[in-house]
Structure 1
Amino acid sequence: MTTSLTPLVRAPHGRRTGRRFLGDLDRPADVFRNLGPNWYASVMGTGIVANAAAVLPLHVAGLRLFGTAVWALASTMLIVLTAAWSVHWIQHRDIARRHARHPVMSHFWGAPAMALMTVGAGTLTLGESWIGAQAAVRVDAVLWTAGTLLGLVTSVWIPYLAMTEHEVRQDSAHGGWLMPVVPPMVSAATGAALVPHVPVGQERLTLLLACYAMFGISLFASVVIITQVWSRLVHHKLGPAAMVPTLWIVLGPLGQSVTAANALGTVAHSVLPAPYATGAAVFGFVYGLPAWGFAMMWLVLAARLTLRTARRHMPFALTWWSFTFPVGTCVTGTCALAVRLHSGAFVVAADALYALLLGSWVVVAVGTVRGGLRGTLFLPQAPTHAGGAAAPRLTADR
């Protein structure tokens, strides 16, 4: 089974429509026809900009207000996108089902789960001043629960499909394979903030232990997949340009695991007895620093490979949102280490990474708005894999 990721450069029937609103579509209603779960990466990428601003050690006037505004934008995007995706499932259920079993698109089912939890975490840290503390906790609890349940499903369901139905070649591994297994790590990192709001006793202990268990689910699955991605790069090189941005997804489980280890270590003192609480806090440093080091090495490697591809031509795609959320997790992880170790060097590193995140977000957001307004990002690909089913569109011409 092969899946072409070659960008379409013409609208249906060979029509080229220029800059007219949704001009690349036959009709405006086609916006819903090919709407896949990968669109939720835009919510993730926007939400992490807000969440990272809330924990950034850099004290700049208006930063929290900026973060709150971006959180409101991410919340709006989540609501609008979920409504649109509901229309997609109602009107185009056959396409939606093909997305769910597609060897590339199915992996992005992890994005809705992470989008829910990202917005939920922002609600708790930034939305409190807008909706009140009690409402913020309730909203976060609902979004975290929904995202966690969906993420636990994708962490088993999508790998199961890959093992039983998808035809996987030796050069098939890509960063997108991490998408369905990273949500439990997001649950662990964002669930730590809910621990103090759960009644003391078995309820609080259960939540903390569940977060650590989900930390393990995602960590070990990610290590297996990252190894496969590395092997594919060494033996089969980069592959299609449209998928090169997914190399940045590797930063997601790395940065999020550093965030989770330290966040859970911070709240463990209110749940566990002294020896274990101390061990949990120490684990944030003992695990976090080596993982952070590998993440920085991968960031440089991914940046170099991306620049190499961009010089040859790398068409804009929704996969470009891989430049945002994974980098954002590195920001939150770096901030956690800065607080844990009282390190000025990590403060500087966190600020630098946030600048990279902010720049990436602006570039990708502009590209998404441009491609969305033209309708290019809503076009399907031509049938290119076994069975003749249309592959979801992952790229767009600039």
Structure 2
Amino acid sequence: MHFHLSQPFSHHDHPREIVRQFTPNWFTVTMGTGVLALALNQVPVNLPILHRLGTALWEANIGLFICCSILYAARWVFFTRDAIPIFRHPVMPMFLGAIPMGLATIINGFLAFGTTRIGHLAVNFAVMLWWVDALLAVGVGLLVPFLMFTKQDHTIESMTAVWLLPIVAAEVAGASAGGLAVHLASPIAAAHMLFYGYILWALSVPLALSVLVVLFLRLVLHKLPKRDMAVSSWLALGPLGTGALGLLVLGHSAPGILAAVGMSEIGAVADGIGVIGGLVLWGYGAWWLVMAVAITMSYLKEGLPFNMGWWGFTFPLGVYTLATLNLGVQTGITVFDIIGEALLVILSGLWITVVLRTLSNGYHGHLFVAPCIAARETRTREIGLDPWLVDK
């Protein structure tokens, strides 16, 4: 039975196809929404409405994350045969990194918004979820590259900045550790959390910088990727923005935390490294930001087809905005405040645009397409077999 085009999910034969075709790139919605909520709360101007807007977005984001988690878990339970091929696909497994990154925005929201609602209980929730997030981030950051080495087919020509997604998740968790550590009552526990944050940062940023080097070479040799991957150029901003933010947050938290355990000198060094390192990565990010804008403008001449990749406009720009605003606070340089507020306005506009396009296309089911299933069914039809009988 086929639904009329005016009905929900009319692109599919049956609503259960939404579950069967549900892929982890939908978690990028929670990443973009969550980072906007956090950025609204970081504006140095005292505007209570921004805090209320941020709170509302954070609460909505919790619902979004739960919904995405249920749908993706249901896919593995009810359509296991269709879920397994993701590990061999050259692109879809990268979006597994979106799961811990989306969760990280909720954890940070408990500290930014939850404490005014439920008090110290918000910190307890944040600590519990952080451990889950850190384990997921490390697991994805190890599993997906291993699959790239052993199971997937890749070429330099087909490479895009999507390769960064599973790697960046660990540094996002590391940045969250810096903000969470100052809320812990035990000085030892706070120091341990701080050190875990640095380890997670180190598990991600150096490798991400290496990937950016290869990405630069790929762009020089093979030019821009296809239009459907156009927005991926913005993903290069992610590890640089998050890397800068992580150093700034960890460094700012270090003096007070480490002084309480007799490491005041190390705390002072960490604080200095945070500002200097944050400035260096911010400057590197500025280059990629300008380049991402220029690349996007070059695609506009041909037309930019909408897909879930458009959420790549939001989270990378969001973490870079947070790093910019944080630099304004820690350095006292007003220009960072101005740039940060301008970036927040752009981020808000992009988020609204992408949300409206997602709602429109998602309503008809156009965005619920699993490339790994489509590729398998195409291959099996080419050799004259029933796709449902082939498990590969």
TM-score (norm 2): 0.91
1:229 aligns with 2:215: yes
Check whether the contact 2:251–2:275 (CA below 8 A) recurs between aligned residues. Answer: no
Check whether the contact 2:87–2:147 (CA below 8 A) recurs between aligned residues. Answer: no
Name the SS of the counterpart of 1:62 in structure 2: helix
After TM superposition, the structure 1 = structure 2 runs for residues 55-204 of structure 1, keeping only pairs within 5 Å, are 55-130=42-117, 132-204=118-190
The answer for the alignment partner of 1:334 in structure 2 is 324
The answer for the alignment partner of 1:257 in structure 2 is 243
The structure 2 residue matched to 1:296, chosen from 257, 274, 286, is: 286
The answer for the alignment partner of 1:26 in structure 2 is 13
Equivalent AA in structure 1 for residue 114 of structure 2: G
Check whether the contact 1:258–1:288 (CA below 8 A) recurs between aligned residues. Answer: yes
- Structure 2 unaligned blocks of 5 or more: 382-392
Shift of 1:372: 0.9
After TM superposition, the structure 1 = structure 2 runs for residues 293-372 of structure 1, keeping only pairs within 5 Å, are 293-372=283-362
Shift of 1:270: 2.5
Q: When you count helix as a share of all residues, which structure comes out higher?
A: 2
Check whether the contact 2:97–2:166 (CA below 8 A) recurs between aligned residues. Answer: yes
Equivalent AA in structure 2 for residue 45 of structure 1: G
Provide the rounded CA distance (Å) in 2 between the counterparts of 1:389 and 1:212.
47
Check whether the contact 1:200–1:271 (CA below 8 A) recurs between aligned residues. Answer: no
1:375 aligns with 2:365: yes
- Structure 1 unaligned blocks of 5 or more: 1-11, 391-398
Name the SS of the counterpart of 1:198 in structure 2: coil
Equivalent AA in structure 2 for residue 108 of structure 1: F
Equivalent AA in structure 2 for residue 52 of structure 1: A
Equivalent AA in structure 2 for residue 78 of structure 1: F
Equivalent AA in structure 2 for residue 354 of structure 1: L
Provide the rounded CA distance (Å) in 2 between the counterparts of 1:258 and 1:380.
34
97-106 or 256-265: which moved more?
97-106
Provide the rounded CA distance (Å) in 2 between the counterparts of 1:270 and 1:331.
26
After TM superposition, the structure 1 = structure 2 runs for residues 276-291 of structure 1, keeping only pairs within 5 Å, are 276-291=266-281
Q: Whose RCO is larger (CA < 8 A, sep 6+)?
A: 1
1:205 aligns with 2:191: yes
Check whether the contact 1:40–1:115 (CA below 8 A) recurs between aligned residues. Answer: yes
Check whether the contact 1:124–1:133 (CA below 8 A) recurs between aligned residues. Answer: no
The answer for the alignment partner of 1:394 in structure 2 is none
Check whether the contact 1:117–1:140 (CA below 8 A) recurs between aligned residues. Answer: no
Shift of 1:229: 1.3
Equivalent AA in structure 1 for residue 63 of structure 2: T
Provide the rounded CA distance (Å) in 2 between the counterparts of 1:199 and 1:61.
28
CA offset digits 1:190-239 (Å, max 9, x no partner): 11121123343432222111111111111111011111111111111112
Equivalent AA in structure 1 for residue 167 of structure 2: V
Q: How many pairs are equivalent?
A: 376
Provide the rounded CA distance (Å) in 1 between the counterparts of 2:10 and 2:77.
24
Check whether the contact 1:258–1:291 (CA below 8 A) recurs between aligned residues. Answer: yes
Fraction of identical pairs, as percent: 29
The answer for the alignment partner of 1:54 in structure 2 is 41
Q: Structure 1 255/235 Cα, relative in aligned 2: closer, same or farther at 3 Å?
A: same
Provide the rounded CA distance (Å) in 2 between the counterparts of 1:38 and 1:100.
14
Check whether the contact 2:321–2:340 (CA below 8 A) recurs between aligned residues. Answer: yes
Check whether the contact 2:158–2:225 (CA below 8 A) recurs between aligned residues. Answer: no
Provide the rounded CA distance (Å) in 1 between the counterparts of 2:346 and 2:220.
27
Q: Structure 1 61/117 Cα, relative in aligned 2: closer, same or farther at 3 Å?
A: closer
CA offset digits 1:217-272 (Å, max 9, x no partner): 11111011111111111111112111121111111111111111111111111232
Q: Structure 1 141/100 Cα, relative in aligned 2: closer, same or farther at 3 Å?
A: farther
Shift of 1:389: 7.2
Q: Structure 1 170/387 Cα, relative in aligned 2: closer, same or farther at 3 Å?
A: farther
Shift of 1:75: 0.8
RMSD: 2.0
Provide the rounded CA distance (Å) in 1 between the counterparts of 2:380 and 2:242.
35
The answer for the alignment partner of 1:388 in structure 2 is 379
